[in-house]
Chains A and B, each alone.
Chain A
Amino acid sequence: MTSAASTATGRPATSAMVRRLPEYLMIWVPLLLSAAHLISFSIWTIWISFTPSTLVPVAGWVGLRNYNAVLASRNWQIAFDNLLLFGIAFVLLSLTTGLLLAILLDQRIRGENVLRTIFLYPLAVSFVVTGTVWSWLLNPGIGIEKLVHDLGWTTFHFDWLVNRDMAIWTIVIAAIWQSSGFAMALFLAGLRSVDSDIIKAAQIDGAGPIRTYWRVILPTLWPITITVVVVQLQFAISAFDLVRALTNGGPGIATQLPALVVYDLMFQRSQLGRGAAAAVLMLLILLAVLLPYAAWRYVRGRQAAHA
């Protein structure tokens, strides 16, 4: 906006540059600093992953030995399988829950602000708190199962937290509780930005509410959907605090996730080289999600420019 204003008044370019100096400083200095930070540490981690480092970083070259050790370890294999399951289930379920909540809130109901705050509230709670609270709720001996038993339904069975086949789903539940409000907020903003003329036109054409949503409104939401998917996926891939507080990778090692493995190798087992290798593998998984997203944004940006 400032640039449009300055060209409109026709002031010399140099004085415009000087006037905009604070803006440049505000944007570029932090951007360069954080980029340097991010890139330098990433490169450093990649370097460490090829060294024989254990307690402290040391120089040396071991080739792919750390990678082979990590990929062959049971911990990593379990963590990777869990990541696939958790990532897909969590993203799909938080997406649908968020969308459903947004559509329900979009009905111009009374008390919308209060409800929206309630649904968004979990997002303000730290993952460690979420994990701890859910670890008590889901514990069969003291939580939901005990409550239902005390109410009289004694055959009720809900021991997912301590059942190694189902424990990963408790993380999905807690993660959805935490972050479907975020999806809801984005979707609600999307729903509100749909041109009311289009909706009216659909109604005039005789489309019922379900049909209107399905055929007219939801298709306009797909850019938001992709944003939500990418944000949630990068959370899923780097999930750490929630799992650590909720199951700590247990029962046994049944709910290991890659971030836990990295932390474990680096800081519990003092195997910096292997930990760095696991971290680089995590980075590759993240890139597998983010690069297509970046490409899609680029293509879309070009299309928009042409249009």
Chain B
Amino acid sequence: MPITTTRRRLLAGSAAALALPAFVRAQGAVKPRLTAISQWSAGSDGAAITALGKKFEEKGGVGQHSPVPGFTTEMMNKLRAQIIAGDPPACSQLKGPEIAAWSKIAPTVDLDAVVAAADYEKVVAPDLAKLHKPTGKWIALPLQIYSTNMLFLSKRALDKAKADKPPVTWADFNALAEKMKTNGVTSPVGTGGTRADDGQKFEASLAGISPAVYRSAIMNLDKKALEGPEVKAAFAQMRKLTEWMDPNVGAQPYATNLKRFIDGDMGMLIMGGWAQGVLKNAGFRLDDFIIAPGPSDNGKPVFLLNADAFIFWQRKEADLQAGQMLMAQLVMDPAIQTMYSQITGSIPVRTDVDLSGEGWSDGQRTTAAALKNAMGNNQAVLSLAHNMAQENGLTAAMIDVFTEYAKNKTIKPEEAVARLADAVEGAR
């Protein structure tokens, strides 16, 4: 029976072929490989992830990064599709409460051993660490930290207003904005018109008025705090901000108007530290602007924490598993965090990195000092506008209220308070 023999041979041959990689694995000769998806494709973010990929390859790995440009949610759609198809990437960008939510739909990698080996836990802020180990085990690693309420001041606009000091409280801020307006700065508050922009205006207002109320109202959704006087005051402050913004911005992203900001046509920008990377990448000089902590009525910096992270999805392939371990080690490495943050304008997750050396800007030093200070005073809170405080559904429902309020000046602060409470109720 010649046919059977052939079949048998074929089977034996393919079995051998299949067994071969396992054999190689046993030899420890497997080349670490990493499939990764993130939203970082261009500008300083793209440059940073490319640099990280190079480091990965220098260590003998093969990196396969597939960027999904746009908002984080766009990246999540690809992630969802891959998870449903049973083929998740070895690692993907994900952050905040989404780490806990997504880890329920697909198995993740237990990183406890590699984190313990690097003695990493003690150099990460406890609030942040908690988000990355939702069930007590590390399944994700934060990569870099931003504060979403840093205050960028245009040097030229400050010159026009004959001011040289960044404002500390909201009253200072409002006075400076008024001064800029009367001295020919067209729009004292620079901005974009995206949903996140409007969300940031509100969170910066409320956290600056009272970080404690921000924590109970926005992070813990306490009904009484949500309907309290501080939230109303925050809406009133936000209304002032919208009055100083350029109404023609429409739905443009904030980066579209950065040249006007540098030229002193827009005065102040409440934005995350990433704006520094974008400004630098666009060819502007660091001495064209000042970075200060966002306005805080009690005078002590308030830090609206936003941290990018990688989550690691379980894979059976030995080369991917090796790649995951290599990547985890790299992400925790102080030299890598330094390299990454210096490109993007963020600050390192590790609290033990020294920012006094070359390559760091004054803005980054200010941010790092603000984080330390805010953590000491319990004024480091999680950003809502950048999906750190709540899951997507709730965040979006709340931002609906902020974005409508920003664009519709007939809505009164007290109406907005009621709408916010309704939106939270409806989305829960």
Contact = CB atoms under 8 A, between A and B. Distances in A.
Interface of A: 54-57, 69, 72-75, 135, 139-142, 159, 161-162, 164, 247-248, 250-254, 264, 267-271
B96 to A, nearest CB: 13
B3 interface: no
Nearest to A163: B247
A250 B250 contact: yes
Nearest to A270: B392
Contacts of B419: 74
B194 to A, nearest CB: 8
B251 A264 contact: no
Interface string B54-88: 00000000000000000101101100100110000
Contacts of B247: 140, 159, 162
Interface of B: 71, 73-74, 76-77, 80, 83-84, 101-102, 104-105, 193, 198, 246-251, 391-393, 396-397, 400, 403-408, 419, 423, 426
Nearest to A272: B80
Report, nearest first, the 5 A-B pairs whose CB atoms are least far apart. Answer: A141-B248, A252-B407, A251-B407, A252-B404, A269-B393
A162 B409 CA distance: 12
A247 B396 CA distance: 18
B233 to A, nearest CB: 21
Contact of B406 (A54, A142, A252): A252
Contacts of A252: 198, 403-408
A270 B393 contact: yes
A54 B393 contact: yes
Given A164-B407, A252-B408, A268-B73, A141 B393 contact: no
Given A139-B248, A162-B247, A253-B404, A269 B396 contact: yes
Given A69-B426, A248-B251, A270 B391 contact: yes
A49 to B, nearest CB: 16
Given A55-B80, A55-B102, A56-B83, A250 B396 contact: no
B407 A254 contact: yes
Contact of A269 (B102, B198, B392, B408): B392
Nearest to A145: B248
A72 B426 contact: yes
Contacts of A248: 251
29 contacts: A54-B393, A55-B104, A56-B80, A57-B84, A74-B419, A140-B248, A142-B248, A161-B250, A162-B247, A162-B248, A164-B407, A247-B250, A247-B251, A250-B193, A250-B250, A250-B251, A251-B408, A252-B403, A252-B405, A252-B406, A253-B404, A254-B404, A254-B408, A267-B73, A268-B71, A269-B397, A270-B391, A270-B392, A270-B393
Nearest to B405: A252
Contacts of B392: 268-270
A252 B83 CA distance: 33
Contact of B248 (A69, A159, A247, A271): A159
Contacts of B397: 269
Contacts of A56: 80, 83-84, 105
Given A159-B248, A250-B193, A55 B73 contact: no
A264 B198 CA distance: 17
Nearest to A54: B393
A162 B396 contact: no
Contacts of A54: 393
A270 B101 CA distance: 11
B391 A253 contact: no
A55 B198 CA distance: 25
A28 B298 CA distance: 73
A270 B392 CA distance: 7
Most B-side CB within 10 Å, residue of A54, A250, A254: A250
A277 to B, nearest CB: 14
A248 to B, nearest CB: 5
A106 B245 CA distance: 50
A163 to B, nearest CB: 9
- Residue from the set B76, B250, B405 with the largest chain A CB neighbour count within 10 Å: B250
A225 B247 CA distance: 41
